[in-house]
Structure 1
Amino acid sequence: KGITKIAALDHAVDGRLKGMWICGENTLVTDPDVKHTTKALESLDFLVVQDMFLTDTAQKADVVFPAAAFTEVDGFFTNSDRRIQRIRKAADPPGEAKPDWWIIAEVAKRMESGVHFDYDSSREVFDELASVSPIYAGLDYDRIDSGELHWPVPDHDHPGTPVLHEGEFINGKGKLQLLDYVPPSENPDDEYPFYLTTGRRLPTYHTNTMTGRSKGFRILVPNEWLEIHPRDAEKLGFEDGDWARISSRRGDVTTRVAITRTSPSGTVFMSFAFPEETLTNNITNPDVDPITETPEFKVAAVAVERIEAPAGFSAEPTLRADPAIEDPRGG
């Protein structure tokens, strides 16, 4: 049995894990409790990062493999809708950038494991996937060339499964499971009286590694902000566009304030799309779900206080792309 990435970072800190190869993820920014993640990466004997850009994580690497973008490779995507889509190379990658599968295969060959990675194309990688994964068994490149399908596709005559469990559950019956409520590992108290929950904003994706390079997106969402309910803002003396320090048991960050009813009273919201300005995961909760070991990104106890605008910035109404939706309950 393998371990999760969160467990791997813990193992790096305590010395059980000596090396790490990170592909296409800005771990130093995406994971909770950035101080812990930084310590983990700096504790490794050897770090390899494979990415399109020299991200915060890549800057800590001993070796960086330049990866090609999706428009620069042949391959396929499977999204969270189970939709399998063919992608076709539209441009040559710059410099020494290569497809991810090629980089991995070439390293394997140099480690004398090439017999298991003897690929000449992404088609061969897909064929191997279909040969060992029942949900892809009925697929090949020619078939996904003619249109997208949804897995499972168990054989070549199967039309795909746009709706999973249509008509009945896969085991023929539905079973209701009653679960006990498990409270968050961290709740507000006198010192940290607010819940912080984090998420994404529509024009920005994850840590903004790619979308942050789009001038159009940066016009829509030029910076981070803290969403806070009018009632809480009034108690703390905030006007829209004021600056705030948000603190947790792990650290603090600063950003502008957006007064809105999209966040209920007692809860504040931030994204994690602007690490160069507001590294939100400095303050998020690293505790994990006992079953999935997923970090508790959505619940952290924080304190919020008004501060003066940092040097070079001003307090002004926050420019935001998300509409200030009124709470239908009138809160």
Structure 2
Amino acid sequence: QAVSDSAIREKFEAAWGCSLSPSPGLTLVEMIEAAYRKDIKAVYLVGENPALSDPDVQHVREALSQLEFLVVQDIFLSETAEFAHVVLPAASFAEKDGTFTNTERRVQRVRKAIEPIGDSKPDWWIVCQIAKKLEAKGFDYSHPFDIMEEIRDLTPSYGGIGYQRLENGGLQWPCPVDDHPGTPILHTNIFVRGKGRFIPLKYIPPGEMPDENYPLILTTGRSLYHFHTGTMTRKVAGLNTMEPEGVVEISPEDATQLGIAEGDKVKVSSRRGEVIAKAKVTKAVPSEVVFMTFHFAESAANILTNPELDPVAKIPEFKVAAVR
């Protein structure tokens, strides 16, 4: 819901007893830059690992080290948590109740299978305890059910999605009222706003293109066997057997030209840093392009990537960086 809409903003202000800015806040990359400038002095990170997942991670790590106070809340000690002044142990999905909403808009119940291990606690409980210590009002929840009821009250597309209905299976929003079946297909006969909107755009080249000093394009992505920065998946022996380390995928043409053979250790450099990884010669990548995942701290591809943001979406250029 748009904070720029005064009616929406007033609804949340009345429910929460606070005033809200009419402007969206900073993106994570913009927060890191503000921390580097020391405009932001404290950060509270929950389940995020920018010291490995953000572009130009050497710059990110410098920014994190300059913070006066960093709190990291996670289930494992991540690369980012190593910079933290306080680490709060969070419970895993198997240790807490709640809901997941996936990318097809399906809301499903999550049920606690075991009690939290050690001192770990559910995220919602930790946030509520901190809020109470700060004497903030409105954090008297006793169960995720209470939070879901508030979501239903304040979010029209979730209005008909409650725990009782979810016991019978997932529901896809929008589901505005209790007897609504959910919406498996978002747009069937027409678009919600009438006709589809096509917005003409002029092509804007990437912020960094290959040149004589950095003649190759690095593009990054994920593998089948690991997720994101590997905080969880790299602790799974079976997945590590399938993919134990990061590699640089390079075309046969470029490998021949550069004298690189399968399994060779190669150095990949950009204007921001360099990493060493084994070469994987494959026709899966075109010539003049190399591919790396960002799951492995030992060969962190995001040392190389460009932090320049798309002017509209505010997404960094993970997919295009000039390298050699």
Instruction: Settle same-fold status: TM greater than 0.5.
Output: yes
| Cα displacement (A) at 1:175 | 2.8
1:241 matches 2:286: no
Paired amino acid for 1:224: G
Give matches, 1:1-331, under 5 Å.
1=23, 2-113=25-136, 115-275=137-297, 277-303=298-324
| Cα displacement (A) at 1:177 | 2.5
Partner of 1:309: none
| Cα displacement (A) at 1:176 | 2.6
Paired amino acid for 2:176: P
Paired amino acid for 2:261: E
Distance 1:296 1:21 in 2: 25
Distance 1:175 1:155 in 2: 28
Q: How many residues matched?
A: 301
Q: Deviations over 1:143-172 (max 9, x none)?
A: 111100111111111111111111211112
Paired amino acid for 1:267: V
Partner of 1:310: none
Paired amino acid for 1:12: A
Distance 1:93 1:191 in 2: 52
Identity level (%): 47
| Cα displacement (A) at 1:60 | 1.0
Paired amino acid for 1:35: Q
CA RMSD between the two structures = 0.8
| Cα displacement (A) at 1:227 | 0.6
Distance 1:174 1:291 in 2: 20
In structure 2, the residue corresponding to 1:42 is in which secondary structure? helix
- Segments of 5+ residues of structure 2 without an aligned counterpart are 1-22
Distance 2:91 2:77 in 1: 13
Contact 2:50 2:57 in 1 (8 A): no
Q: Deviations over 1:218-260 (max 9, x none)?
A: 1111111011110111000111111110000000000000111
- Segments of 5+ residues of structure 1 without an aligned counterpart are 304-331
| Cα displacement (A) at 1:88 | 0.3
Greater Cα offset, 132-141 or 69-78: 132-141
Q: Deviations over 1:58-102 (max 9, x none)?
A: 111111110000000000000111111101000111111000000
Partner of 2:6: none
| Cα displacement (A) at 1:39 | 1.3
Q: What is the TM-score of this pair, normalised by structure 2? A: 0.91
Distance 1:273 1:13 in 2: 24
Distance 2:139 2:206 in 1: 44
In structure 1, the residue corresponding to 2:72 is in which secondary structure? strand
Distance 1:13 1:238 in 2: 38
Q: Deviations over 1:9-66 (max 9, x none)?
A: 1111111111000000111111010111011111111000000011111111111110
Distance 1:261 1:167 in 2: 42
Paired amino acid for 2:264: D
Q: What is the TM-score of this pair, normalised by structure 1? A: 0.90
| Cα displacement (A) at 1:118 | 0.8
In structure 2, the residue corresponding to 1:95 is in which secondary structure? coil
Distance 1:47 1:177 in 2: 41
Distance 1:164 1:265 in 2: 39
Contact 2:161 2:171 in 1 (8 A): no
